[in-house]
């Protein structure tokens, strides 16, 4: 394809948080352009957002149904190629399904849907239509997360025994949803957020990171959810014990009342021979701790000699020389770039490389929704362990 991929957006207007981050990430490599959108629930804000983003007025639509219908009727040379969906959780499924059914690829925010049933329906739709769905689990895009995954896979640490993943935030330590914060208001509303606030908003990121880096699937879990803030309708804190498929044990903590914390995502994995540690707030460092050896620090962007050479997955997702910090925006952009490379390869009849296909998909979305469901079921029930069955 000798042109940029054309992107449409559902949500992400001037009244939104993550939509602007998506645009920065999508545009970073110069291979995507924004051509249309239904940017807001409020038509005035949508119109103004389109104007601010230099989108042609006739392609700023009243709602996603109109956008998908009218874009489908445009000639090949103009029509959007894919839709980015950055609305509250309950508004992911319907636009994603409609877009896929009408021949468009999809980038959608997590949690993919608000129920396992919807998630499985999206999986069936992706399989039937042959379209590509990308789920933006942001933390999996970092070069040092890719390096960690590669080292686990090549057996550097031996058989994995223990996985500890944490995602503490402090921004919901008060009743923020009643303080005029629209993002907090829908997140704390079961009708718009889903069954769990903390697990939908950040727990799925942690669960995805644990499975992504370790390469192991969660098989059983035991969960404890709490609502600490009085008046809140959903949980704001959760601790989960995990059992993985190879006998490894894990602990997942997701919390939005960890007062004073920002986005302190951290993962530690230990095998028979050693372990690793990676943290979002220091993302260019990967700490390697081997039994009976001094600690090692792997850093993004270095051309280390063998046996320390960074994996092809880490280097493929690195943009600048070592020492110049890469961060969340680049990690997000890596997800968009791999999605773009995969979509382009498919359209040209080529098989995308493993590096190009390395982004979260509809299958991760189904696992994410199953994770939330299983955590809530275990927390509400009396059994000690609940099976994680997809």
Tell me, residue by residue from 176 to 215, as one string, x for binding to ligand NAD by CB under 6 A and - for no binding. ------xx--x--------------x--------------
Minimum distance of ligand NAD from residue 373's CB (angstroms) = 17
CA distances from 114 to 92, 293, 340, 378 (A): 8, 46, 26, 18
Tell me, residue by residue from 242 to 281, as one string, x for binding to ligand NAD by CB under 6 A and - for no binding. ----------------------------------------
| 354 neighbors 334 (Cβ within 8 angstroms) | no
- C-alpha to C-alpha distance for 316 and 298, rounded to whole angstroms: 16
9 interacts with ligand NAD by CB under 6 A: no
Listed ranges 82-90, 117-125, 149-157, 170-178: which one lies at the site for ligand NAD (CB under 6 A): 82-90
| Residue 81 exposed, middle or buried by CB count within 10 Å (0-12, 13-18, 19+) | buried
Pairing mode of beta strands 296-299, 82-86: unpaired
| 278 neighbors 187 (Cβ within 8 angstroms) | no
Beta bridge partners of 218: 244
Minimum distance of ligand NAD from residue 5's CB (angstroms) = 20
| 365 neighbors 110 (Cβ within 8 angstroms) | yes
Pairing mode of beta strands 237-244, 274-279: unpaired
- C-alpha to C-alpha distance for 75 and 82, rounded to whole angstroms: 15
Residue 335 tokens read as 């997800």
CA distances from 249 to 93, 118, 210, 216, 368 (A): 33, 30, 11, 11, 19
Measured from the CB atom, the residue of 8 and 274 that comes closer to ligand NAD is: 8
Listed ranges 36-44, 243-251, 276-284, 376-384: which one lies at the site for ligand NAD (CB under 6 A): 36-44
334 interacts with ligand NAD by CB under 6 A: no
13 interacts with ligand NAD by CB under 6 A: yes
- C-alpha to C-alpha distance for 206 and 191, rounded to whole angstroms: 23
29 interacts with ligand NAD by CB under 6 A: no
Minimum distance of ligand NAD from residue 201's CB (angstroms) = 6
Listed ranges 35-43, 206-214, 247-255, 376-384: which one lies at the site for ligand NAD (CB under 6 A): 35-43
Among 6, 7, 8, 10, binds ligand NAD (CB under 6 A): 10
88 interacts with ligand NAD by CB under 6 A: yes
| Residue 314 exposed, middle or buried by CB count within 10 Å (0-12, 13-18, 19+) | buried
87 interacts with ligand NAD by CB under 6 A: yes
Measured from the CB atom, the residue of 232 and 288 that comes closer to ligand NAD is: 232
Minimum distance of ligand NAD from residue 243's CB (angstroms) = 27
Beta bridge partners of 276: 269, 288
Minimum distance of ligand NAD from residue 194's CB (angstroms) = 9
Query: Binding to ligand NAD (CB under 6 A): which residues in 105-164?
Result: 109-110, 136, 138
Say how many residues touch ligand NAD, by CB under 6 A: 27
Query: Which residues contact ligand NAD by CB under 6 A?
Result: 10-13, 15-19, 38, 40-41, 63-64, 86-89, 91, 109-110, 136, 138, 182-183, 186, 201
């Amino acid at each position: 394809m000798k042109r940029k991929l054309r992107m449409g957006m559902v949500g992400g207007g001037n009244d939104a948080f993550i939509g602007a981050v998506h645009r920065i990430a999508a545009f970073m490599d110069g291979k995507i352009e924004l051509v249309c959108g239904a940017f807001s629930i409020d038509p005035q804000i949508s119109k103004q957002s389109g104007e601010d983003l230099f989108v042609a007025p006739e392609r700023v639509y009243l709602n996603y149904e109109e956008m998908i219908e009218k874009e489908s009727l445009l000639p090949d040379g103009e029509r959007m190629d894919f839709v980015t969906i950055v609305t509250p959780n309950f508004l992911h499924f319907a636009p994603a399904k409609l877009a896929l059914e009408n021949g468009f690829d999809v980038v959608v925010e997590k949690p993919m849907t608000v129920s396992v049933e919807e998630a499985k329906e999206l999986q069936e739709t992706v399989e039937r239509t042959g379209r590509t769905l990308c789920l933006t689990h942001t933390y999996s895009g970092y070069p040092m997360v890719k390096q960690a995954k590669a080292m686990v896979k090549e057996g550097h640490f031996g058989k994995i025994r223990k996985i500890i993943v944490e995602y503490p935030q402090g921004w919901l330590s008060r009743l923020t949803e009643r303080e005029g914060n629209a993002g907090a208001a829908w997140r704390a509303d079961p009708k718009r957020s889903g069954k769990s606030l903390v697990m939908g908003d950040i727990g799925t990121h942690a669960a995805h990171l644990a499975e992504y880096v370790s390469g192991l699937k969660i098989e059983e879990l035991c969960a404890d959810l709490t609502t600490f803030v009085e008046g809140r309708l959903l949980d704001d804190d959760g601790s989960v014990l995990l059992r993985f498929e190879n006998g490894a044990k894990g602990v997942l903590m997701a919390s939005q009342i960890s007062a004073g914390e920002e986005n302190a995502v951290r993962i530690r994995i230990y095998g028979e021979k050693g372990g690793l540690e990676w943290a979002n707030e220091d993302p260019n460092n990967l700490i390697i701790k081997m039994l009976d050896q001094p600690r090692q620090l792997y850093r993004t962007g270095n051309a280390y000699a063998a046996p320390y050479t960074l994996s092809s997955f880490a280097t493929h997702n690195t943009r600048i020389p070592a020492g110049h910090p890469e961060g969340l925006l680049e990690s997000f952009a890596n997800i968009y770039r791999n999605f773009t490379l995969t979509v382009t390869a498919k359209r040209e009849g080529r098989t995308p490389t493993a590096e190009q296909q390395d982004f979260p998909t509809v299958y991760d979305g189904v696992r994410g929704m199953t994770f939330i469901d299983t955590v809530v079921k275990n927390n509400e029930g009396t059994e000690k362990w609940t099976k994680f069955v997809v």
